[in-house]
């Protein structure tokens, strides 16, 4: 078996790695020593073993029953960030905030919006994350992916089909490990000013003082999920330790002691209420992972 040099943890609590601070344990949790080590580790896994990649865990609800299989952490691991032939090369573990600042310093324009995304580039690529009118795949030129055999593939952006908060990949069982971004020439001071403005806007509008996972639902065409939730009288609504934020209705915050089930039940209640009162079926932006253990969704409605 190929030797790997990263850190393998068994029965690791996922609450430590998600921005909601909830979630059960992962059977296996791997922190690679780098890209070569990640390749060796993936080769060593059984072909039937489920694999999940996690960055900052900022768009993720891990259920209380935990995760069967292996979770791979890329935040603070795949962090190379440099200029490469006129393009910005960034590995998937680079935070979006760091990427925005790097591009500004290089006097490149068009990456400022990344400052408003509270995750890693890997997560942004996987869900075509965006804010303030811009999306990740608008600036992607090519990517490197890794498959479960540890093989790397470099693919052009044209092989992927981006849509709102979603990306269709040519091969399902591949994960992003790096990307090259093409950006226009700009002005370093102007980009820095824009980033500062975006961060101030975010601080003013979002409940950043409590654990949350960003926007819970996608914005329906021509409307805002937050407006629909607020119009349904749900601002401040609580189940257990999970609350619809009083500052931004599309955020669910952990006000203390929330379980993943509290959050999942609240998501279901919001969806049901908005459908009944507004006639709109909200689509979830949050990814869910793992198994229920504290009952079923029908138990505590």
Q: What pLDDT, on a 0 to 100 scale, did the predictor assign at position 3?
A: 67
pLDDT at 2 over 70: no
- What mean pLDDT is reported for the chain? 93
Question: Does residue 37 share a domain with residue 92?
Answer: no
- The token duo for 31 is 């922190």
Question: Does residue 114 share a domain with residue 21?
Answer: no
Mean pLDDT on 120-138: 92
Kind plus residue range of the DSSP H or E element containing 181: strand 174-181
Question: Does residue 26 share a domain with residue 125?
Answer: no
- Of 58, 212, 215, 245, the catalytic one is 215
295: DSSP letter: -
Is 88 in contact with 102 (CB distance < 8 Å)? yes
Question: Does residue 107 share a domain with residue 168?
Answer: yes
CA dist., res. 129 & res. 113, Å (int): 10
Domain enclosing residue 65, as ranges: 7-73
Q: What pLDDT, on a 0 to 100 scale, did the predictor assign at position 300?
A: 41
Q: Which of 17-31, 120-134, 136-150, 252-266 has the lowest mean pLDDT?
A: 120-134
Out of 183, 204, 225, a domain closes at 204
State the CATH number of the domain containing residue 35.
3.30.43.10
Give the number of domains in the chain: 2
Q: What pLDDT, on a 0 to 100 scale, did the predictor assign at position 301?
A: 35
Q: What pLDDT, on a 0 to 100 scale, did the predictor assign at position 297?
A: 46
Question: Does residue 118 share a domain with residue 67?
Answer: no
Q: Is residue 45 part of a domain?
A: yes
Q: What pLDDT, on a 0 to 100 scale, did the predictor assign at position 4?
A: 75
Out of 73, 105, 124, a domain closes at 73
Catalytic status, residue 163: no
- Of 21, 39, 63, 165, the catalytic one is 165
Q: Is residue 165 part of a domain?
A: yes
Catalytic status, residue 215: yes
């Amino acid at each position: 078996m190929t030797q790997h040099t990263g850190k393998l943890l068994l029965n690791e609590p996922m609450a430590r790695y998600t921005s909601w601070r909830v979630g059960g344990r992962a059977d296996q949790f791997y922190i690679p020593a780098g890209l070569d080590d990640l390749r060796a580790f993936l080769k060593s896994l059984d072909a039937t073993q489920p694999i999940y990649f996690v960055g900052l865990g900022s768009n993720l609800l891990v259920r209380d029953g935990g995760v069967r299989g292996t979770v791979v952490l890329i935040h603070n691991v795949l962090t190379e960030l440099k200029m490469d032939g006129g393009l910005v090369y960034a590995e998937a573990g680079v935070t979006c905030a760091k990427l925005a600042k790097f591009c500004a310093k290089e006097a490149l324009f068009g990456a400022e919006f990344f400052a408003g995304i509270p995750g890693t580039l890997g997560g942004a690529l996987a869900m075509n994350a965006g804010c303030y009118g811009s999306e990740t795949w608008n600036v992607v030129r090519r990517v490197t992916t890794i498959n479960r055999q540890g093989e790397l593939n470099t693919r052009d952006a044209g092989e992927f089909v981006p849509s709102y908060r979603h990306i269709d990949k040519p091969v399902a069982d591949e994960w992003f490990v790096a990307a090259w971004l093409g950006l226009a020439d700009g002005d370093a001071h102007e980009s820095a000013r824009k980033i500062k403005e975006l961060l101030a806007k975010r601080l003013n509008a979002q409940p950043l003082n409590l654990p949350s996972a960003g926007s819970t639902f996608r914005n329906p065409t021509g409307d805002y999920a937050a407006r629909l939730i607020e119009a349904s009288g749900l601002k401040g609504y609580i189940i257990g330790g999970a609350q619809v934020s009083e500052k931004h209705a599309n955020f669910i915050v952990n006000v203390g002691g929330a379980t993943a089930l509290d959050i999942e039940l609240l998501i279901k209640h919001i969806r049901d209420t908005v459908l009944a009162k507004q006639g709109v079926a909200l689509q979830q932006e949050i990814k869910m992972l793992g198994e229920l253990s504290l009952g079923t969704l029908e138990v505590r409605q």
